Amino acid sequence: MKFTSLLVVLLLSCLTAFAGTLSGNVKATGQSAVVLETVPAKAFPASQQSAAMDQRGMQFTPALLVIQQGTTVVFSNDDSVAHNVFWPNISSNKKLGHNLGTFNKGKTLSFKYDNAGNVPLLCNVHPEMSGTIVVSPSPYFVATDAASGYSIKDVPDGTYKATTWHSGKATTQNVMVKGDTKLEFTVK
């Protein structure tokens, strides 16, 4: 009886554990983000993680941050001058714009991103500063650059919408993941 129960558990886990890696290249200059959404949409638990975005050397660092929806981002200022953090929209929705305010060296501000999409970061004290946060609706995402390609591991077999965000623009393709799957993006 014990052996039969173990065998049933092993068989069930094998049937539900099919997952692979989605990989490929994003043909564009500079950094991009690749994120997956299930089709039809499946709710994922909100992230309990936090991420960091620094303002150092008159730049947002990293220039591109990719996070899961529900993640709190902690913004810090390591420059000797005051900085500001604001975004005019999230994926062109101006109602989701926000201004965290201005803060001095050594201070931090934080914000929890509950809306998926592309977040263009700006500093109203230094208009030459910009950065990007891409908020993924699923735990399947990656930041990439043209030189190294991308790889998203442990993606359950299924049909997804795959979106690459590059310079604030989205390119979306449908993809069926079955084991290890390749998907190439060309950004225009």
Q: Find out whether 121 and 113 touch, Cβ atoms under 8 Å.
A: no
- Do the Cβ atoms of 101 and 84 come closer than 8 Å? yes
Asked if the structure places residue 1 within a domain, the reply is no
Residue with the larger pLDDT of the pair 12 and 90 = 90
State how far the Cα of 184 lies from the Cα of 174, in Å rounded to an integer: 11
Residue 5 lies in a domain: no
Last residue of a domain, one of 95, 115, 136: 136
Q: Would you say residue 182 lies in a domain?
A: yes
Which domain covers residue 164, as residue numbers? 18-44+139-188
Is 9 domain-assigned?
no
Same domain, 22 and 91: no
Mean pLDDT along residues 160-174: 92
Q: How many domains does the chain have?
A: 2
Q: Are residues 62 and 38 in the same domain?
A: no
Backbone angles phi, psi at 18, to 5 degrees: -75, 120
* CA–CA separation, 79 and 122 (whole Å): 15
Which two tokens mark 83?
Answer: 């900085």
- Same structural domain, 39 and 49: no
Q: Residues 68, 127: one domain?
A: yes
Whether residue 27 sits in one domain with residue 89: no
State the amino acid at position 56 in one-letter form: R
Q: What is the pLDDT of residues 3-49, one digit of tens each?
A: 434 333 333 344 345 789 999 999 888 889 999 988 776 778 878 88
- Distances, alpha carbon 111 to alpha carbons 35, 57, 70, 79, 127, in Å: 21, 22, 10, 20, 21
Which domain CATH number covers 27? Answer: 2.60.40.1120
Tens digits of residue pLDDT in 54-71: 999 999 999 999 999 999
Q: Are residues 25 and 57 in the same domain?
A: no
Of 139, 91, 147, which is closest to residue 115 (Cα–Cα)? 91
